[in-house]
Amino acid sequence: MNARPDIAVPQAVPTSNPECTALLVPGQGSQTAEMAEVVAAERPDLLNLARGELGVDPFETLDEGTRFAQPAIYCASLAYWERAGRPEHAMVAGHSLGELGALAIAGSLGEEDGLHLALLRGRLMEAAGEASPGSMMAVLGGGDRQVYAIAERYELAVANDNAPGQVVLSGPIPALKIAKRELRDAGIKALRLPVSGAFHSAAMAAAGRRLRDALAEVEFRRAGALVYSSTTAEPFRDPRAELAAALTAPVRWRQTIARMHSDGARAFVEVGPGDVLTGLVRRTLEDVESYSLATQEALHA
């Protein structure tokens, strides 16, 4: 999860060398009003599968829970990639849920398998949130040491390290409220996120165990590009173990982007709905291209 940064949008899509292009796949919180139409046009097969398992259209029930939001965003990410002509790339990474889309885009995970995992992941995380109530809070500004110290003082997890000056804390709501007051007293902006659980914290342990059991039955193949885990900030080595562990581990997005840059990425292309990850790249790196396919489509509509 992350808060949307203010970013400037380029007026044309840069021409990038696939050998130094990295695709980025967003996670929960990136939904847009336009994405349902894109999915219906580009990936009706995935939409029908999601409808069949959920019993409803996930795009019509996005605000009703994580179990709807996660499969909807997964479908939308693959649909935007399809609409763009499946652009070539050397690397790909996904933010949290986006890891499933990243593995599917790279050919390591079957696209339908990825959707089934997104459906299961969403249900498990929502159930874990109901069993152990909590939430998340974006912290915008402040030094890392100061913010991490406040998180430790109130036994909150640093769920996302998204970019310089943007982290997300996760934990029980009473502790988040106290931490929010202290952060604001220190002149640091803190914003509660509209989520139903303390994601990327120990509160998701039961969900992680059940997801690990399901992943044991899923086939993974050799990827056609380097796929980076957003929790280890390194290329995936054991997707089954790393996807399950990601439910309780922090998203190290700043470090993931930096690692991809050090491995040669010079253009970062966001392939899902919205442009949140584009903004995070621009906050983290200076000497790169970064743009969102969805935003470019809107500019040229």
Right CATH for 18-130+200-299 from 3.40.366.10, 1.20.58.340, 3.40.50.10140, 2.70.98.10: 3.40.366.10
- Laid out side by side, the sheet with 91-94 consists of 226-228, 91-94, 21-25, 267-270, 289-292
Indicate the pairing of strand 267-270 with strand 21-25.
parallel
Least confident of 144-148, 272-276, 291-295: 291-295
Interatomic CA distance for residues 237 and 249, integer angstroms: 16
Q: How would residue 147 be classed by pLDDT, with cut points 50, 70 and 90?
A: very high
Cα distance between residue 173 and residue 226, in whole Å: 38
Reported confidence tier of residue 10, pLDDT bands at 50, 70, 90: very low
Q: Is 96 a catalytic residue?
A: yes
Note the pLDDT of residue 1. Answer: 60
Residue-range domain boundaries for the chain: 18-130+200-299, 135-192
- pLDDT confidence bin for 146, thresholds 50/70/90: very high
Active-site choice (16, 96, 170, 201): 96
Alpha-carbon dihedral of residues 168, 50, 39, 199, nearest 10 degrees? 0
Summarised one tens digit per residue, pLDDT across range 157-210 is 999 999 999 999 999 999 999 999 999 999 999 999 988 899 999 999 999 999
- Which candidate in 89, 116, 200, 261 is catalytic? 200
pTM beyond 0.85: the answer is yes
Label the pairing between strands 157-163 and 226-228. Answer: unpaired
Q: Looking at residue 16, what is its pLDDT?
A: 57
Average pLDDT, the chain: 91
pLDDT of res. 54: 96
pLDDT in tens, 30-77: 888 899 999 999 999 999 999 999 999 999 999 899 999 999 999 999
CATH number of 135-192: 3.30.70.250
- Residue 169's pLDDT is 98
* pLDDT number for residue 196: 84
* Model confidence at 298: pLDDT above 70: no
Is residue 3 over pLDDT 80?
Answer: no
The pLDDT of residue 15 = 43
Sequence-distant (≥ 6) Cβ neighbours of residue 153 within 8 angstroms: 179
User: Residue 3's closest CA among 294, 288, 275?
Assistant: 275
pLDDT score at 58: 95
pLDDT at 25 over 50: yes
Residues 211/247, Cβ–Cβ less than 8 Å: yes
Lookup: tokens for 93 = 């990474």
